[in-house]
Structures are given as C-alpha cells and as structure tokens.
Structure 1
C-alpha cells in the first residue's frame, strides 16, 4: 500500500515498531488478538489495528503540501479536514481557515472568497452544491481534493445502483459531513433516503410494507430524503450503502432487515431477490472494519477497563467506544493530558455530548490491565503519549524507552 509523507510530529517510533512487528507476523491480517505490553503492575493490551488510515494520511499529506507549496496565498478548508483537534489546530496555526463548521454552518461568507484563493476539500468529501458554488466563484472545486477513496467508492456504488432504478438507502448520521456529501451525490442520480439507526430502518420498513401511509413519509424523514421522494413508487427497488465509519454490525443488521422486509412484502425468493434489493455488499472502508474487528478481538481478553483515544466528534472513534462500553468501563480521551493522575481522568460521554471527570478510574490491585485503541484520525504519537502517561502513574515511564529500543 502507498506510503504518505505525514509530519513527524504525528509519528511514534514506539507504535511504528509494534505495528511493523505485528505486520511481519500476520501479513494477511487474520490475527485480531491485541499486542501485550506487560510492565508488571500495569499491563496494556494494544489493539491489533488502530490509528491513521489510508484516507487520513492521504488527506494530511495533501493539506500540508498545499500549505508548503503556496506561501502567501489564502488557504481555506471547507470544514475540519478530519475529526481530530490536534491535526486541525496544526493547520489553523499555519494560517489555514475553515469556511464552515462540521454541521455546515458558514464561518467565512462565500462573498469573501476570491478566484485565486485555495480551497481544500476535506477527507469526508463535499456536496455537489458546494462544488457548484466554488465554480461560480471561479475556484476549481477539486484541485485540492483530499476526499477519501473509500468514500468515493460509496458514491460510485450509489451511482451504479441508481442507474438501475434502485432507490439508495444511506446508513449514516444525517448531519455528518460524509453523509451529507454521499446524500448529495446519490440524490443527483436516484431517490435517496438516510437512516441513522435501526429504529429509523424499521420506520422505513413500515413504509415499504405499507403499514404506514405514504403521505407521512415527508414528515418522518424530513431533511433526510431527496426532493419529491414518493414512498409509493420509490421504495419498490432499494439498495443500502453507508457512511464508511459506521458500526459494521449495525449496517449489516439494517441491510438484512430491509432485505427481509422486501422479501416479505413482494413475495421474493433467492432467485428473485435481486429484482427488488440491490447487492451493494459492505461499503465500510477496510480501516473501519479492521479497527472494529481488532476491538472485538481485544475484548475477548480479561481486562479492568478500556481507554479509547481520538477526537470527540469522530464517528469511527465513537463506535470503538461503543463496542468497548458493552464489556467494561471505558474512557474516551482526546489526548494524554486528560489522564490527570492515577485516580482521576477527564473523559467524554459521547451519548450526552459532555465531558466528565471521574475519580479512582484505575483500580487498586496488584496488576491493572487496560485495553487501548484509537480512532482512524488519531496520530500514533498521542497513543504513545497515553502509554507513557499511564506508566508515569506507576513511576515506570522509562520502560517505554526500553520497549522502543527493543
């Protein structure tokens, strides 16, 4: 796989050595057991896969190269390039400005842009409407494009089934930049509706089966369906794609549920299912799959708690937290500084969108075992920082250097 020129501040010699060793031992990526870092009173089980993915490294390389190659020019990002505050703040410190926040609220008016300004498309991609807006301002919309190839793959799949008269069902968070972009590209080709979870998928199923009157559709899926969506005719043939960072098991469950509803409603058989339900297969990216599978493998090991590192508004990271929370106490932190002491931690509750302060998060016992992973937009340097911070609570930080040398 291609390697990228990512700033050294995001790298970690310790984590790189661990990842390289695991890659040599398991080139086919079939072993999802964690890496065991046994420091005596502290044992850390490090997930098999975590950290920067292909799309994130590609975006970082393009963005930083663009800044380096265009001194004196005004450079804008449509919104956060990735959902990690450290990377975004580094770009802001180099003079880059955000045109919008993550919800799409305008921060810099379009009227302030000039034809010679540079606008970088973030890794999530952007909408066709914004591309058109930039063109009207005389700015080539995709000249500095960091859209993840796996996001574009979803757009291509939606277009392919749309051209065959299937309606596209997008499993994603309606307000997320990637889902907004996917929705925009899909509705240009076919009727499209977004469902954020199984609850909404069940509601959609009721429209497919006729249990709910079609007249209610516009209200139930307001802001989540393409203009003129007709539940009577647009739910006759469907296919499911997703926001690439969603929980894989949930996407599969939603696709299976919609498929079962189609079978029951239209009396389909295995031979005729494709007449009504498109074979989209899984559109999750490889990194999302690998990271979630690694957490599943990690959770098979006995442990006292889990620490997940990443940006608080990172969808893929929140799903790793969600998986860990099903098994044991889990602390979602954005950087090592939130680990205050052996008895206190600042962490994020993504369910209620608030930061919490918890005391006595590390149990008093002979050996504490911690599961550790990070999101796809989290620099490895932060994961090493968390390891060092945890070791410092036991006066063992020097062991991280010895491990790196080994």
Structure 2
C-alpha cells in the first residue's frame, strides 16, 4: 500500500516500532490480539490496529503540500479536513480558513471567494451542489481534493447499482459530512434514503412490506430522502451502502435485515434475491473493519478499564468507544492532557455531548490493566503521549524508551 509524507509531529517512535514488529509477524493482518506492554504496576494492552488510516494520511499529505506550494495565497477548507482537533488546528495555524463548520453552517460567505483562491475538499468529500457552487465562482472544485478513496468507492457503488435501477439505502448519520456527500452523489443517479440505525431500518422495512402507509414516508424520513421519493415504486429493488466510519457489524446487520424483508415481501427464492437486493458488501472500509476487529480482539483479554483517544466529533472513534463500553469502564479522551492525574480524568460522554470529570479511574488493583486504542484520524504521537502520561503516574516513564530499543 502507498506510503504518505505525513508531518513528523504526528509520528511516534514507540508506536511505529510496535506496529512494524506486529506487521512483520502478521503480514496478512489475521491476528487481532493486542500487544502487551508490561510495566509492572501498570499493564497496557494496545490494540492491533489503530490510528491514521490510508484516507487520513492521503488527506494530510495533500493539505500540507498544498499549503507549502502556495505561499501568499488564500487557502480554504470546506470544513474540518478530518475529525481531529490537533490536525485541524495545525492547518489553521498555517493560515488555512474553514468555509463551513461540520454541520454545514457557513462561516465565510461564498461571495467573498475569488477565482484565484484555493479550496480544499476534506477527506469526507463534498456534495455535487457545493462542487457546482465552486465552479460557478471560477474555482476548480476538485483540484485540491482530499476525499478518501474508500468514500469515493461507496459513491461508485451507489452509482453502479443506481444505473441498474436499484434504490440506494445509505446507513449513516444524516448530518455527518460524509453521509451528506454520499447522499448527494447517490441521489444524482437513483432514489436514495438514509437510515441512521437499525431502528430506522426496521421502519423502512415496514414501508417495503406495506405495513406502513406510504403517505407517511416523507414525515418519518424527513430530510433523509431524495426529492420525489415514492416508497411504493422506489422500494421494489434496493441496495445498502454505508458511511465508511459506521460500525461494520451494524451496517451488515441492517443489510441482512433489509435483504430478509425483501425475501419475505416478494417471496424470493435464493436464485431470485439479486433481482430485488444488490450485493454491496465491498463498500465497508478496511480500516473501519480492522480497527473494530482489533477492539473486539482486545476485549477478549481481562482488563480493568479502556481508554480511547480521538477527536470528540469523530464517528469512527465513537464506535470504538461503544464497543469498549459494552465490557468495561471506558474513557474517551482527545489528548494526554485529559489525564489530569492518577486520580482524575477528563473525558467525553458522546451520548450526551458533554465532558465529564471522573475520579479514581485508575483502580486500586496492582497491577492495573488498561486497554488502549485510538480512532483513524488520531496521530500516533498522541497515543504515545497517553502511554507516557500513564507511566509517569507510576514513576516508570523511562521504560517506554527501553521498549523502543528492545523491538
């Protein structure tokens, strides 16, 4: 796989050494057991896969190269390039400006842009409507495009099945930048509807089966369907694609559920299923799969708590937190600074969108065992920082350097 020129400030000698050793031992990435870092009084189980994915490194390389190659020019990002505050703040510090926030609210008027300005498309991609707006302003919309190739693969699959007269069902968060972009590209080719979870998939299934009155569809899925969507006509043939950062198991469960609804509604034989339901399994992102599988592998080990590092508006990170929360006390932090002391940790409750302070999070057990992972947009340097901060509470921080020399 291609390697990228990512600023050294995001790299970590410790994490790189660990990842390189695991890669050498497991080239096919079949082993999802964590790496044990045993420091005596504290034991850290580090997930097999975590941190920057292909799409994030691609976006970072393009964005920083664009800044370096265009001194003196005004450079804008449509919105946050990735969902990590450290990377976005580094770009802001270098003079890049955001045109919108992550919800799509305008921060800088379109009318203020000039044809010579540079506009970078974030890793989530953007809508066809925004591409047209940029073109109308004399700005080539895709000249500085950091859209993740795996997001574009979802768009291509949506267009492919749309051209075969399937309606596209997008599993995603309706307000997320990636889902908004995927919806825009999909609805250009075929009727499209967004479902955010299994509950909404079940509701959609009731429209497919006729259990729900078609006249209520536009109310139930308000703001989540293409214009003129007719459930009586447009739910005859369907396929499911996803926002690439969703829980892979949930996407698969939704696809399996809709598939079964189609079988039951239309009394399909196994051979006839493709006539009504498109196979779209290849839209699941490899990094999402690997990182989530690594967390599941990590959770098989006995531990006292889990720490997940990443931006608080990161979808893929929040799903790693969800998985950990099912088994252990879990703390979602954005940086090592959130580890206030051995007694206090400041962490994000993404369910209620608030930051909490918890005391006595490091149990009185000796040794204490901590599961540690991070989201796909989190720099490895932050994970090393978390490890070193934890070790400092036990007076063994120097042992991190010893591990590097031993690997």
TM-score range, shorter chain: over 0.9
The equivalences for 1:3-402 within 5 A come to: 3-402=3-402
For 2:23 and 2:159, how far apart are their aligned partners in 1?
35
Deviations 1:239-271 (A, max 9, x none): 000000000110011001001111110000101
- Choose 19-28 or 393-402, whichever is displaced more: 393-402
Structure 2, unmatched stretches of 5+, are none
Write the distance in 2 (CA, Å) between the matches of 1:366 and 1:377: 33
Query: 1:291-343 deviations in whole A, cap 9, x for unaligned?
Result: 00000000000000000000000000000000000000000000000001111
1:330-367 Cα offsets, whole Å, 9 max, x none, are 00000000001111000000000100000000001220
After the TM superposition, list the runs of 4 or more consecutive aligned residues in structure 1 that deviate by more than 6 angstroms: none
**Cα distance in structure 2, aligned partners of 1:275 and 1:403:** 56
Aligned Cα root-mean-square deviation (Å): 0.5
Cα distance in 1 between the residues matched to 2:133 and 2:296: 43
Tell me, what secondary structure is at the counterpart of 1:345?
Answer: strand
> What is the number of residues matched between the two proteins?
406
Q: Secondary structure at the match of 2:340?
A: strand
- Distance across 1 between alignment mates of 2:400 and 2:214: 61
2: CA distance between counterparts of 1:61 and 1:366?
A: 43
Distance 2:152 2:246 in 1: 16
**If the length of structure 2 is used for normalisation, what is the TM-score?**
0.99
1:405 maps to 405
**Shift of the alpha carbon at 1:283?**
1.3
- Secondary structure of 1:272's counterpart equals helix
Secondary structure, aligned partner of 2:372: strand
Deviation at 1:70, TM superposition (A): 0.2
1:41-81 Cα shifts (integer Å, max 9, x gaps)? 00000000000000000000000000000000000000000
Distance (Å, rounded) in 1 between the aligned partners of 2:223 and 2:88: 29
**Gaps in structure 1 of 5+ consecutive residues:** none
TM score, norm. by length of structure 1: 1.00
Q: Distance in 2 between matches of 1:239 and 1:370?
A: 40
CA distance in structure 2 between the aligned counterparts of 1:249 and 1:280, rounded to whole angstroms: 14
Deviation at 1:99, TM superposition (A): 0.3
Aligned residue for 2:129, secondary structure, equals helix
> Structure 2 CA distance, aligned partners of 1:282 and 1:317?
21
Residue 241 of structure 1 aligns to a residue in which SS? Answer: strand
In the TM superposition, what whole-angstrom CA distance separates every residue of 1:144-196 from its partner, at most 9, and x where no partner exists?
Answer: 00000000000000000000000000000000000000000000000000000
Residue 282 of structure 1, CA deviation: 3.9
